[in-house]
Structures are given as structure tokens and as C-alpha cells.
Chains A and B, each alone.
Chain A
Amino acid sequence: MNSVSPGGFTTKRRSRGGMSRNAGSDVRAAYLFIAPAVIGFLVFVGYPLIRSFYLALTKYNGLTDPVFVGLGNFRRLFTTDPAFWPALRATGYLVLLYVPLSLILGLALAMFCNQRFAGVRIVRTLAYLPVVLPAVATITLWKFMLDPQVGLLNTILDRLGLPTSLWLQSSSTSMPSVVLVMLWGVGGTMIIFLAALQAVPTELYEAARVDGAGPWSVFFRITMPMISPIMLLQVILQTTAALQTFNQPKILTNGGPGFSTKVLMLSIYENGFPTLGRIPQLGYASAQVWVLFVIIIAVIALTAKFSSLWTYSDSTSD
């Protein structure tokens, strides 16, 4: 999409023609049209951002006024809290496992579905189907699928004579199992790659074929460079989403066994919104939120900074 809109051009021409009355009504109308979104931005983005930073520096139970404690929450997080480092490790494990697999499988699936075979649309539709279904519905379904005794996965493995697994119930396989459930929704990654693949000009492939390029060099010299901007977008989107994973560990394992799947989001939830009878630690949870937030910003910044090393930009399109 072109950011230099033909509209800007027209308006300029019009105002040069001296019709300032229209320009004034444009501004008034614009403010009216954009007002809800602006109010929403200030109330639901701006205010909470500032407020949560302040709360991170306080001790706050939600009932009495917050008490300023400076960096006390962060000190407690990094030095004395026995649950913080495991949460960070679990989150990192999840991201490192999920993001590469999701990108590789998503791209492979997109390339697979970008071919002209009878029935390819059915495959595409079915691959996207799990993304459409409610998260709670699919996650609970998978919780039962992964049941070691009566679940479908072990039943199938058993019948095929393959070794079965404890899946979610052992601390060594619980996180890979959570990631497995997340990967069932890889159709979401696929669909964005598919759009990117379809935007690659056919002539490039034809030229490569004429030159006798093999499939691997076509992939690495044409497909990958051409879709690299989308790859960048996907890396950022997937990583930030994966860092905030909540539903899967909450429903599948509630963090267990042990601390094996207690990701940062789950820990934040438990501190901020504890079960009845325990006192909410909203200041402490806000400090955790800010740790997560800083990690997310760092990931985005680093990915963007090093993107020029591996993304291809067509200088003529600027």
C-alpha cells in the first residue's frame, strides 16, 4: 500500500483553490470520527502503561493505598523469590521450542499448500480449522488427548507398538507437550506465509527455471529473500505472543508438574489474582509484568536491529 495517498494530493489541490471551508469541516469531522479510538487509546493503553509502571514500584494489595517501595519488588524478584527464575526459564524454554517450530512448520505448510493439486483447498481449510476453534475448547480436548491412560495419543502409539509417554504429567515432557498443543494451531502462521508466497512474482521463478536452478537454490535465493520482510514480522509477532502464553499452561497443567510449565504469565496471574483467601500482590505482579514487557521490547528491538542482515528490501519500491 502506498502511504502517499492520492487523497492528500486532492486535498492540497483543493485548498490551493481557496476552499478552506471544506478543510475546516474535514478537521472537525476527523476529530469526531477518530474520537472513540483516541479516548480508548488514552484510557486503555496510555493510562494503564503509566499506572502499571508506578504500581511496579509499590506494595499494593488492591484494598489499601499502594505503598512506595522503590525497586524493592525487583530486588525480591531477582534475589529472593524462588519461583521467579523457574518462571523465566519455563518462558524461555517455551519460546525457544515454539517459535522456531511454528515458523518452520508454518512455512513448510504454506509452501505445501501453495501448489496446484486437486484438493489443496481442502488441506488449506483443514490446516486453518484449529485456529478458528475456541482456545478453551481445543486445549481441553488436547488435555484429554494427552491423558496417559485413556488418551488417544498413547492409544495410537501403543497400537503401533511405539513407546508411550506421560505427556503433561511428567516434568520432563510437560513443556514439549504444551508446545505440541500450541503447534496444532500452526495454520495461523501458515496463512500469513501463504499470502506472502502468493505475492512473489512468478517471473522470478520462471527465470530461475530457465537458468536451471535447483529447488534448494530457488528456495534460498528467491523464496526466502522475497518473503523475508514477512518472516521478520512473523518472528516478532510469534515471539511476543509466545512470551505471553497463558491459556495453554493454565488449562493443561496449571503450571505443573513442579514449576515445569509455570510461565511468567501464569505467575503474574497467580500473584495478581490469587485464589480466595490469599492476598493479591498487585505491586509485585506489576513488577513481573514490567520484566516481561522489557523482554518483549528487547526482543522486538534486537530482531529489528539485526533484520538488515537477513531481510531483503527492494530499494526501488521506496
Chain B
Amino acid sequence: MTALQTEAALPDTVQAVPPAKKKPRVIGTTAWYVVALFICAVMVVPLLWMITIGLKSRTAVFDIPPKLLPHEWTWSNFINGPKAIHFPKLLLNSFVITGLSVIGGVLTAMMAGYALARLRFPGRKTWFYLFVGSMLLPGVVGLIPLFQMYKSIGWYDTWLPLIVPAFLGGNPLFIFLARQYFLAIPYSIDEAAKIDGAGHLRIFVSVMLPLTRPAWLTMAILAFQASWNDYLNPLVYLYSSGKWPLSVGMASFISPFAGKTPDWSYYMATNLLYMLPPLIIFFAAQRYFIQGLGALGSTNQK
């Protein structure tokens, strides 16, 4: 809470009250809402504009001066646009790649976090620091050697380079988050389970996983986002367009082929569909997004 906040901690009805009583604050309130409106507009207007382009006819997009709303609403763009890039195929590719890498990334990070936080073993600290240190390692360092490695074992132009690393604790941030979360769970719970004769696998699966639900949901969302949005890796590792996920497919949609101008109305209609899964997840699970990154902010404070 900031000083401004305490100052503004008047009832929300303050805007409806005549501005006679406490003038400076009311000006503050008005100013706040003006700025808020501006911020919202900056964030939302491009998306609304995208939808209007998706609804324009293919030639109306290039009208000069441009019109903000379409003359005639071309709903068929939402059918023909996706068809033009084989959207269903690419969507399925994206879902398979993303789904598997979410499962792998979350599961192996939770396992590593469990070991680092709750089990004593030689090298525990060393591995923790190595994982945390690798968070700062730029991804580009691995790009060329890994590309050659995948090529030599026949993984080039397959989905394996996009999925297998996730099953090997691919994201050190997740390991870090999992460890922090596991540290906060009271140790009496494990003790009780051990007395009941539960092994580590049992404790992990039936005690820890239910208790750490917010943590792995957060990670699952972040992993989904990372994989769904990833562009560089599939661009480098996948050659055949039939294997592309949506990110590469969408980007190739607008790169001009042999002088042909890209079809913006088709593109924007399809783009909306491409955005939908992350959008739905965001609005359904907003607090996990905020929590996950918030955790990064607050855990590092000490």
C-alpha cells in the first residue's frame, strides 16, 4: 500500500459525490481515471482494430485513407483465412507440442524442486546453484551445438527437440519456483506420512502434489505460454511446413512470397483464432499468472 493509496482510500463513491468537500483528491481521482482510460485504450484498441481488419474484405484493407470499420462485414474470412494456412493441422501440431512440453516441464521441475527442498543429499546446494545460475545463461549459447546434436541423432525436422528438453527439467525457473514453494510446506506433514509408512513417491504424489496445486498450475500456465508462443526454436528445428506449430505458420503467412502481398484480412482473422487459447487460459486463471510472477518478485526480496 502506498501513501497515495491510503490517501485515496476514500469510499469508491467519491466520484459520485459533488467535488466540494475535498477538491485536490477529486482532481486526483479524475486524473487517475483519465490515465486509466488511456492505458486501457493503448492495450485494447490494437486488438479491436485487428478484429475489424479480420472482418474487412481483402481489398478494403488497402483503402486510402483507411476506414476504421469495415463497409461490409466479411465473416467468411474466419473460414477462408484459416483454410489458407491449413489452420486445423497447425493447431493440432501446436496442441501436441505444447501439451507434452507442459506436462514434462512441470513434472520434472516439481520432482527436482521436491528433492532440493525436502530431501538431504550430497550436492544439494551445488545443484541448486547450478540450476539457478543456468537461468541467467542466454538460450542462444546452446542453439548451434544443440542444432548439430539433434541433426546427428536424426531429430532434425521432428518435434523431439521441442518436447524432450521439457521432460529433462527444461526450465530452471520452474525448478526454482517449485523449490521455494516446497520450502514453505510444514515438515510435520512428511513426518506424519512417513510414520504411516509412505515412501517418497507416495508422499510426492498423494501429499505434495495436492498441496502445491497453485505452484504447478502457475508453472503449467507459464509453460503453456512459453511453448505456444515460442518462435525461434520451431523455426530453427522444423523444416517441413506440415510439422510447424502455429507460431511459425502464422509468421510465414505474412512473409511476402515471390512478390505476392500478404493477405491481411485473412491473416488477422486467423491471428484472432491463434490468440484465443492463451486468452481463454489467461482470463480463466488470471490469478495464477499474477501469482507466478509475483512469486518471482517477492521470493527474491530476501
| Contacts from A to B (Cβ < 8 Å) | 1-2, 5-8, 10-11, 22-23, 25-27, 29-31, 33-34, 36-41, 43-45, 47-49, 51-52, 55, 62, 109, 111-112, 114-120, 122-123, 125-130, 132-138, 140-145, 149-152, 155, 158, 184, 187-188, 191-200, 202, 205-206, 208-209, 213, 215, 218, 223, 229-230, 233, 236, 240, 243-244, 246-247, 250-251, 265, 268-269, 272-273, 282, 285-286, 289-290, 292-293, 296, 300, 317
Q: Is the CB of A195 within 8 A of B298?
A: yes
Set of chain A residues within 8 Å of B229, measured between Cβ atoms = 133-136
Known: A117-B32, A136-B229, A230-B297. A49 touches B137 (CB 8 A): yes
Q: How far is the CA of A116 from the CA of B139 in the complex (A)?
A: 40
| Contacts from B to A (Cβ < 8 Å) | 1-6, 8-9, 12, 29, 32-33, 35-36, 39-40, 42-47, 49-50, 53, 61-66, 68, 108-109, 111-112, 114-122, 124, 127, 130-131, 134, 136-149, 151, 165, 167-170, 175, 180, 183-184, 186-187, 190-191, 194, 199-201, 204, 225, 228-229, 231-232, 236, 246-248, 250-251, 254, 264, 267-268, 271, 274-275, 278-279, 281-282, 286, 289-290, 293-302
Q: List 8 A-B contacts (CB under 8 A).
A: A8-B120, A29-B199, A40-B108, A41-B130, A119-B36, A140-B251, A200-B2, A243-B138
Set of chain B residues within 8 Å of A243, measured between Cβ atoms = 138
Known: A134-B275, A240-B138, A282-B144. A37 touches B168 (CB 8 A): yes
Q: How far is the CA of A106 from the CA of B17 in the complex (A)?
A: 32
In the complex, given contacts A7-B118, A136-B246, A155-B66, what are 18 additional A-B residue pairs having Cβ atoms less than 8 angstroms apart?
A: A10-B191, A30-B124, A34-B121, A39-B168, A44-B170, A115-B32, A132-B278, A136-B247, A140-B271, A141-B268, A145-B49, A192-B296, A192-B297, A196-B297, A229-B301, A269-B232, A282-B144, A296-B136
User: Contact check: which of B40, B140, B199, B268 meets A268 at CB < 8 Å?
Assistant: B140
Q: How far is the CA of A318 from the CA of B267 in the complex (A)?
A: 54
Known: A23-B120, A136-B229. A112 touches B35 (CB 8 A): yes
Q: Is the CB of B139 within 8 A of A244?
A: yes
CB distance from A269 to the nearest CB of B (A): 8
Set of chain A residues within 8 Å of B122, measured between Cβ atoms = 27
Q: Is the CB of A300 within 8 A of B3?
A: no
Set of chain B residues within 8 Å of A208, measured between Cβ atoms = 3
Q: Is the CB of A251 within 8 A of B251?
A: yes
Q: Is the CB of A5 within 8 A of B194?
A: no
Set of chain A residues within 8 Å of B12, measured between Cβ atoms = 117-118
Set of chain A residues within 8 Å of B1, measured between Cβ atoms = 114, 198, 200, 202, 205
Q: How far is the CA of A141 from the CA of B247 in the complex (A)?
A: 13
Set of chain B residues within 8 Å of A293, measured between Cβ atoms = 138, 140-141
Q: How far is the CA of A34 from the CA of B122 in the complex (A)?
A: 12
Q: Is the CB of B9 within 8 A of A116?
A: yes
Q: Is the CB of A233 within 8 A of B300?
A: yes
Q: Is the CB of A130 within 8 A of B127?
A: no
Q: How far is the CA of A39 from the CA of B118 in the complex (A)?
A: 20
Q: Is the CB of B4 within 8 A of A30?
A: no
Set of chain B residues within 8 Å of A45, measured between Cβ atoms = 134, 137, 142
Q: Is the CB of A126 within 8 A of B43?
A: yes
Q: Main secondary structure on chain B at its contact with chain A? A: helix
Set of chain B residues within 8 Å of A285, measured between Cβ atoms = 144
Q: Is the CB of A140 within 8 A of B2?
A: no
Q: How far is the CA of A261 from the CA of B140 in the complex (A)?
A: 18
Set of chain B residues within 8 Å of A223, measured between Cβ atoms = 2
Q: Is the CB of A36 within 8 A of B112?
A: yes
CB-nearest residue of chain B relative to A42? B168
Q: Is the CB of B293 within 8 A of A191?
A: yes
Nearest 4 A-B pairs (CB), nearest first?
Answer: A40-B168, A37-B169, A195-B297, A48-B142
Set of chain A residues within 8 Å of B39, measured between Cβ atoms = 109, 112, 123, 126-127
CB distance from B165 to the nearest CB of A (A): 5
Known: A6-B187, A123-B36, A141-B46. A26 touches B301 (CB 8 A): no
CB distance from A157 to the nearest CB of B (A): 12
Set of chain A residues within 8 Å of B130, measured between Cβ atoms = 41
CB distance from A286 to the nearest CB of B (A): 5
Set of chain A residues within 8 Å of B43, measured between Cβ atoms = 126-127, 129-130, 184, 187
User: Contact check: which of B119, B120, B278 meets A133 at CB < 8 Å?
Assistant: B278
Q: How far is the CA of A51 from the CA of B146 in the complex (A)?
A: 9
Set of chain B residues within 8 Å of A196, measured between Cβ atoms = 297-298, 301
Set of chain B residues within 8 Å of A112, measured between Cβ atoms = 32, 35-36, 39
Known: A30-B120, A141-B268, A196-B297. A10 touches B187 (CB 8 A): yes
CB-nearest residue of chain A relative to B44? A126
Q: Which of B65, B180, B204 has its CB near the most chain A CB atoms (within 10 A)?
A: B65
Q: Is the CB of A132 within 8 A of B282?
A: yes
CB-nearest residue of chain A relative to B45? A152
User: Contact check: which of B9, B127, B254 meets A140 at CB < 8 Å?
Assistant: B254
Q: How far is the CA of A39 from the CA of B167 in the complex (A)?
A: 10
CB distance from A150 to the nearest CB of B (A): 5
Q: Is the CB of A289 within 8 A of B5?
A: no
Q: Is the CB of B142 within 8 A of A49?
A: yes
Known: A55-B145, A208-B3. A44 touches B115 (CB 8 A): no
